[in-house]
Amino acid sequence: MSRVKIPTTNKTEIKVILVGNSGVGKTTLISAISQGKFNSDQKSTIAPSYSYLEIKNKKGTTSRLQVWDTAGQERYASISQIFYRDSSVALVCLEVGDENNINSAIEWEEKVLTEQSNCHIFYVITKSDMNDPKDTEAFADLLKKRLNNTQVFITSAKNMEGIKEPFEAAANLNINPFDKGHDSVDIAQDQNKDQKKSCNC
């Protein structure tokens, strides 16, 4: 019997979702990192959609991120939550503000964990260009204290600053539900195993 080997991908595939209030900049952040430029005329998301990002991780292999943009409006919440399932990473996006901003972000985290309890949570401060750097850092410190030092990223899609880091962190997590750990699948070998199992001699 001829032996046929079908190469399998060495890319880790990770589902990443972005959640947060409407207008916080989730879609703009995704657009900036995927297109390499800032889009000042980004419309609010009304239905979940996804795109792919490929990022080289610390192991030297490529992680393929399936990045989901979810709607932040309350009337679309029930639809968006369906897409939280099977997520490996959630980027909770929020702007610099007061305790209300933090409380709202924590509510988004809780919604994600209700649907996917083992999801990794990162917090992403958006639109840092709109605030004094000292105010942004102070808000980030306050956020870390409230969250017991959960990882927090500061980003500006407009200035293209810090936008890669959250996705690189996702790519470097030791999670890979789709990777079987093999470079190839040997069909002939698998068929022989099946024949031996079914043989009564």
Question: DSSP secondary-structure letter at 162?
Answer: S
Residue 122, SS3 per DSSP: strand
Query: Which stretches of the chain score pLDDT less than 50?
Result: 1-8, 178-199, 201
CB contact at 8 A, 64 and 12: yes
pTM above 0.85, yes or no: no
What per-residue confidence (pLDDT) applies to 185? Answer: 36
pLDDT tens readout for residues 17-55: 999 998 999 999 999 999 898 877 656 555 567 899 999
The per-residue pLDDT for 150 is 83
Among residues 56, 187, 95, which one has the least CA distance to residue 108?
95
Domain locations in the chain as residue ranges: 5-198
Q: What is the pLDDT of residue 13?
A: 87
Would you state the pLDDT for residue 179? 42
Which amino acid is present at 38?
A: F
Q: 63 and 11 in contact (C-beta within 8 Å)?
A: yes
Look at domain 5-198 and name its CATH class: alpha beta
What is the structure's pLDDT at 7? 41
